[in-house]
Each structure stands twice: as C-alpha cells, then as structure tokens.
Amino acid sequence: MSIHSEECIIRIDQVSKSFGAFQAVRQVSLDIEKGSFTTLLGPSGCGKTTLMRLIAGFYEPDAGQIFIEGSRVNGKPAFKRNTPLVFQEYALFPHMTVFDNIAYGLKLRKTERTVIRRKVEEMLDMFGLRGMESRLPKELSGGQQQRVAFARALVIGQNILLMDEPLSNLDAKMRVEVRSELRELQQRTGVTAIFVTHDQDEALSLSDRIAVFQQGLVRQIGTPWDIYFKPNSRFVADFVGTANFLHGTVAGLEEGDIIVRCHKQLFRVAGNGGSFRTGDQVTLVIRPECIAVSQPSSDVGISFNAWSGDIVRSSFLGHMIRYGVSADSFEWTVDDSSPSLRGYLQGKVGMSVDKRSIHILPAEAKEAQDEQGDRAIS
Ligand SMILES: Nc1ncnc2c1ncn2[C@@H]1O[C@H](COP(=O)(O)OP(=O)(O)OP(=O)(O)O)[C@@H](O)[C@H]1O
C-alpha cells in the first residue's frame, strides 16, 4: 500500500501505542511535508519520544499506519528505514574522529575508500568543518557537533532527521545560537526534520509547523503563528506562552465583531470566522504583550477594550517588565516591552487592547461550570 502525495514524506495515520494499560500515543495523525521542520511540543510524558520511536521503527504501533516516502513501514525494522533518530549530543561516536563519524555509514555500505574520502571531503567543505576532521566530538562546539550529525546523515543520502531534544545539554545562550544554526542547516540542505522539545521558544523559533501534544493526543497542528495567536484550546494557549484567560458571555454581534461581557467589562473582539451567538459562554485569550499599559490614568469606567487597575507586582526581565495588575478581582499579566522609555510604573494604570489582539474560544465545559475560576472573571 502506498500514498501518492509528492509533498508528504511521512504520514502518520491514526497511530496508537500503549505500554501495558497506559496509552502513551492515542490515535495520532500527522502529515509531514518534504523539506519541512516539524516540532513535537508538549509537557514531559505526553508521548513525543514514543511517537519519534514509532517513526524510527524502534516501536511498533498497536494500531494505525506509518508511511515514509510513500511506503507503509509498519513491521519494517529501524535499520531499513531512512530515518536516523538523533538523541542528545547527536549520537556521534565519541571515540571516532569527525572524519570517521561522517564516513561511518559509507564504510558500513562497503563503499570504496577513494569514494569515501571524496564524499567526506565534500561534506567537510559543505559544513565548514575543514581542518577539524581529526578532532573527536568532545573537541567540538555544540554547533559543530550538529553539523557533523547532518553531514553523517546526508553523506549516505538520508533526507529525514529525527531529533529528540538535541539542544538540551547546552547552556541557555549556546542553545539560542545553535538553534539558529540548526534551522539554517536544515533549510540549506532541504532535510526533513522532526524535532522533539518541551521548550516553547525553541518550537516557535525553529518550526514550519508545530504539533502540540497533551497526554498522548495531538491537540493542535499549525504554524508557530497560529499556535501562538490562534490556539484552539486553553491548554495550547497556556502551554505555548503566557496568557490572560477571561470567562465571558457573548452580549451581541456588531458589524462582524463579537461583543463579550466579562463581569463589568465589555470587550469588542474582531470576528475570527467562528460562529458565536448571543448568550454563548466563551473564553477570551489575551497575551500580556498585547495589552498597552499607561500611567497616569483616571478610572476609565466602562468602555470597550479599555480598563484600569492597580499594579500589585512587577518583575524586571531586561527586555521588558512584567506586571501583575489587579482589576475587578482579576490579576492581569501585562508586559511592558519598552521599560527604558517609562521606567517602572506604579499605582493605578490604564490598560487597553486592540480588538484584533483578542482571541476568542468557546468556553470549555469546566470553565463554564466554574465561573469563579482562579484566573477568570465572571
Ligand atoms: N518503554 C516504556 N515502558 C513503559 N512506559 C513507557 C515506556 N516509554 C514511555 N513510557 C511512558 O509513556 C509516556 C510517554 O513517554 P514519552 O517518553 O513518549 O514522553 P515525552 O513526551 O517524550 O516526555 P519527555 O519530554 O519527558 O521526554 C510516559 O508516561 C512514559 O513513562
């Protein structure tokens, strides 16, 4: 059996995997486009690594099918699949030089020595590793190790790389440097990359598409932009970034906008194509950086998308100050990204948000019941 999509290099179709009675992966479907960078993102234990191991062939699914380059690979052993699984530190052989690490796959395939030398040298040039061929992996930076890992896969024609938290051993600054190099390498080589992380910044900055996992289920698949600004659930909004969640009721529809009442406050929300009706219970999702904060302010009373509150906490993060602002028994999280202009704000402040920066979701059952929830105004 095969699939006939040129673009889709890996198709995961309704795949499930249990360990004893525990379902680690539950009916996951995911199409991976050729040459794309896809990240599996989710909290610890949500099934990301298990799905990678299913793709690589280290586990067999209990149900569902996996296709790689058009062919069904269920039952096909890992070494016959075109998908090297790269763990932390890129799984380079620590006792082998850069040259030997890159040459390894060619040697296994009994390639002629002169061909091996020529191909490895091409890779050394392509990845800027000339002069480092005699070094051991521990004598390389994280970025250089990453390049060796790419070279080793590409030299034998592998065009899919599965990477399981490859940056997790690096310190914070190196991690950012190496990740931008990783993206550049992936785009330059056209390799299809699947990447596992629980770090949302890493996922947002690297990926063409992100699949957000929760307890073995894929909750949302989308571009980083959509995952961040148009989450399809409170879980996704909360996991990917920080958000203010307000429980409210649709008070009316006006010129394509949705008017929502959250306690005493009225919000005008740009209609996002969703079908909401007057009386619907909803959750508004407002990112802290989407709220403009100003001082001084008199009480703005009831007006659309503008309200006031009292600063109850602040934390300086260098590039911004994050405030906790209490209004109407709700504590807003608000980011001021230009602290050098205003310094610390104190006391009473005014807040406002553009109607296009408010995301609206149908209230989840629990929220509708629990209107007095800790982060919700009712
Ligand atoms: N071989 C196994 N036997 C039994 N349970 C397992 C096995 N492998 C994974 N699990 C369980 O399945 C669940 C999913 O594990 P998995 O490693 O896929 O999670 P993850 O999302 O990659 O987590 P992390 O980010 O911590 O690596 C976990 O609860 C884990 O304990």
Site to substitute for ligand 1 among 48, 195, 202, most atoms within 8 A of C-beta: 48
Cα 26 to ligand 1 centroid, rounded to whole Å: 13
Which three-class secondary structure state does DSSP give residue 5? coil
Closest protein CA for atom 31 of ligand 1: 45
pTM attached to this predicted model: 0.86
Looking at residue 373, what is its pLDDT?
43
ipTM above threshold 0.90? yes
Cβ(49) – ligand 1 distance below 6 Å? yes
Strand partners, 11: 31, 67
pLDDT digits (tens, 9 = 90+) for 122-139: 889 888 899 999 999 999
Q: What is the pLDDT along the chain (378 residues), one digit of tens a residue?
A: 444 455 899 999 999 999 999 999 999 999 999 999 999 999 999 999 999 999 999 999 999 999 999 999 999 888 788 776 666 556 789 999 999 999 998 998 899 999 999 999 988 988 889 999 999 999 988 778 888 888 888 888 778 888 888 777 677 887 888 788 888 888 988 889 999 998 999 999 999 999 999 999 999 999 999 999 999 999 999 999 999 999 999 999 988 899 999 988 899 999 865 689 999 999 999 999 999 998 765 555 557 899 999 999 999 998 899 999 999 889 999 999 887 877 888 889 999 999 999 999 999 866 555 544 444 332
- pLDDT value at position 98? 96
**3-class SS string, 284-346:** EEECHHHEEEECCCCCCCCECCEEEEEEEEEEECCCCEEEEEEECCEEEEEEECCHHHHCCCC
Residue 369 structure tokens: 């019941």
Residue 165 contacts residue 172 (beta carbons within 8 Å): no
Residues in the chain: 378
Please give the distance, rounded to the nearest whole angstrom, from the Cα atom of residue 60 to the centre of ligand 1.
Answer: 15
Query: Do residues 328 and 261 make contact, with C-beta atoms less than 8 angstroms apart?
Result: no
